[in-house]
């Protein structure tokens, strides 16, 4: 590797970046914009769920249950006169669930024949339906306790559940989604920055011009990696700062670990983009490949929203091919749990392995072209 030549190439590449501001836009403007939009937009916590409440006959017990729903932060109850009206509202997607207390509710409560509280949820969004079910159970349980308490007896449940949720006590889904978003956005940035650069040289014929100079393939590759890596790291830094200071995701791990893993991931993402570029040799194909293989796998198979641990085993193996997976794991852990070294080292090793693998293929593919 000749450093004078490398410096020249890096300078040329940097000038090209500066003169077409779209790359700088990709690196700095894009992560900020996307993180702003998604950081506020992406959340799985159902709040203020519109709920139809049908009370066929008023009674103190029924009123107490309804007021439990009114006080809950999770629900926006709307009173409806009949179950038909409520079902109509659900069909038209005005409410996401129905609470139905039949006319003999109070009577059944008194006689101790397990009075049914009817709950109907719209199951189209199954995850939301399940969360609503959980919240309804919570309100119902509080009401039960209070009611039996007023009657002078303590509600005796043989077993009570006490839970402690580690790392995210207030169960805020944004706290784990924002670190995941950084990984996804950076995957895109890496691919967008570099997937075209080699293909462009081939298409414009400047690659052949480079070939007749004494520069080696390794120098060309390095000169493509270095400036884009620096550019990408700028965007990465901005995103991390935004996560900490704007979205207030707690950062429990060390800054150094964060910096090391971010650089490693950025490097992997950029080599992946470069590999696409080398393999495609035309910008058109490179662009198409980049659209198809970067965003969707990073979105769905990285553990960003869909938990990898619950996927079928074969798919769990497949996720090992997605670089974002390791970074999502590292980021979620570093932010929420702290420095958990075994996890950190394993994931970093995988990332390094992937980057090496990409570099090897790039080298192999490029060599063939020189002949």
312-331: contacts with other proteins (CB under 8 A): 312, 314-315, 318-319, 329
CA distances from 74 to 46, 79, 131 (A): 7, 16, 10
- Contact residue for other proteins among 306, 360, 364, 367 (CB under 8 A): 306
How is residue 320 annotated by DSSP? G
* Nearest one of 297, 174, 182, 225 to 17, comparing CA atoms: 225
Contacting range for other proteins; rule: CB under 8 A; set: 4-12, 288-296, 353-361, 363-371: 288-296
Q: Which is nearer to other proteins, 333 or 348 (CB)?
A: 333
Task: Give me the least distance between CB of 164 and other proteins, in Å please.
Answer: 5
318 exposure class (CB count in 10 Å sphere: 0-12, 13-18, 19+): middle
* Nearest one of 118, 124, 126, 85 to 102, comparing CA atoms: 118
Q: Which residues contact 80 (CB under 8 A, 6 or more apart)?
A: 52, 53, 54, 86, 89
- In sequence order, which ranges of 246-340 are alpha helices (DSSP H)? 255-280, 283-290, 296-300, 313-318, 323-332
Task: Give me the least distance between CB of 93 and other proteins, in Å please.
Answer: 8
Task: Give me the least distance between CB of 230 and other proteins, in Å please.
Answer: 19
Site residues (CB under 8 A) for other proteins, limited to 33-72: 34, 37-38, 40-47
Structure tokens at 163: 């839970």
Asked whether position 118 contacts other proteins by CB under 8 A, the answer is yes
Task: Give me the least distance between CB of 327 and other proteins, in Å please.
Answer: 14
Task: Give me the least distance between CB of 333 and other proteins, in Å please.
Answer: 7
Task: Give me the least distance between CB of 266 and other proteins, in Å please.
Answer: 17
Site residues (CB under 8 A) for other proteins, limited to 140-199: 140, 144, 147-148, 153, 155-169, 171-173, 175-177, 184-185, 188, 192, 195-196
- Contact residue for other proteins among 24, 32, 89, 119 (CB under 8 A): 119
Structure tokens at 179: 């670190």
């Amino acid at each position: 590797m000749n450093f004078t030549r490398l410096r020249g190439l890096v300078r040329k590449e940097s000038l090209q970046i500066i003169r077409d501001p779209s790359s700088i836009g990709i690196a700095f403007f894009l992560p900020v914009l996307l993180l702003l939009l998604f950081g506020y937009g992406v959340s799985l916590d159902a709040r203020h769920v519109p709920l139809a409440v049908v009370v066929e006959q008023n009674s103190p017990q029924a009123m107490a249950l309804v007021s439990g729903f009114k006080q809950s932060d999770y629900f926006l109850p709307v009173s409806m006169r009949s179950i038909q009206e409520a079902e109509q509202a659900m069909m038209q997607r005005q409410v996401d669930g129905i609470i139905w207390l039949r006319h003999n509710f109070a009577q059944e409560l008194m006689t101790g024949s397990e009075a049914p509280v009817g709950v109907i949820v719209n199951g189209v969004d199954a995850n939301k339906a399940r969360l609503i079910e959980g919240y309804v159970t919570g309100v119902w349980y509080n009401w039960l306790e209070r009611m039996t308490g007023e009657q002078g007896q303590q509600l005796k449940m043989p077993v009570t559940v006490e839970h402690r949720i580690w790392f995210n006590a207030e169960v805020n889904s944004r706290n784990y989604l924002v670190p995941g978003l950084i990984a996804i956005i950076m995957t895109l940035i890496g691919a967008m920055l570099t997937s075209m650069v080699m293909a462009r040289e081939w298409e414009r014929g400047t690659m052949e011009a480079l070939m007749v100079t004494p520069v080696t393939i390794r120098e060309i590759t390095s000169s493509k990696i270095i400036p884009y890596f620096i550019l990408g790291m700028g965007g990465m830094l901005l995103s991390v700062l935004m996560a900490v200071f704007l979205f207030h995701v707690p950062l429990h791990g060390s800054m150094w670990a964060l910096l090391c893993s971010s650089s490693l991931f950025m490097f992997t993402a950029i080599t992946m983009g470069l590999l696409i570029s080398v393999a495609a040799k035309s910008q058109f194909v490179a662009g198409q490949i980049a659209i198809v293989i970067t965003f969707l796998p990073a979105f769905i198979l990285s553990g960003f929203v869909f938990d990898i641990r619950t996927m079928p085993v074969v798919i769990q193996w497949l996720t090992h091919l997605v670089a974002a997976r390791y970074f999502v794991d590292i980021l979620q852990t570093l932010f929420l749990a702290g420095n958990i070294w075994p996890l950190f080292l394993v994931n970093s090793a995988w990332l390094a392995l992937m980057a090496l693998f990409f570099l090897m293929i790039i080298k192999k593919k490029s060599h063939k072209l020189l002949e």
